[in-house]
Amino acid sequence: LRRVGARYCAMARRLARTFADVIDNPVLLGGVKSITVKYAKVGPGQAGARHFIASQFPVIKYHNMDIELGINKVEHPSPAGLTVEKADGTVVEHEIDGLHSDDIMDIVQKA
């Protein structure tokens, strides 16, 4: 029973740090209407897209409530892709196959 309590405390500390990171490091994406990530469940080069969705989508949504976030998960291995639609209707597509989630975030912020 004591080990469960220690594990719970460690998880609670990690969660508190995560919330603090989300609040203290805003990601403001002015002029972006929607972001869609396409990736395969398995295959080489897909991990960065999966990690981007898990780690950065909540941060983006927290600070930009009006941005639509989409996920397109395909069954067969194919290159991972990122589609950013701007407020003026311009659509920018990027191939993110093999990129780290931080590199994908840089692409989104520059779009």
Inform me whether the pLDDT recorded for 7 exceeds 70.
Answer: no
- Which span out of 14-18, 41-45, 97-101 was modeled with the highest average pLDDT? 97-101
**Distance, CA of 94 to CA of 75 (rounded, Å):** 20
pLDDT for 4: 60
**Distance, CA of 109 to CA of 69 (rounded, Å):** 14
* Closest of 109, 110, 107 to residue 49, by C-alpha: 107
pLDDT digits (tens, 9 = 90+) for 49-92: 999 998 888 889 989 999 999 999 998 888 999 999 999 999 99
| pTM exceeds 0.85 for this model | no
Q: What integer best gives the mean pLDDT of the chain?
A: 86
Hey, is 1 helix, strand or coil?
A: coil
CB 81 within 8 A of CB 95: yes
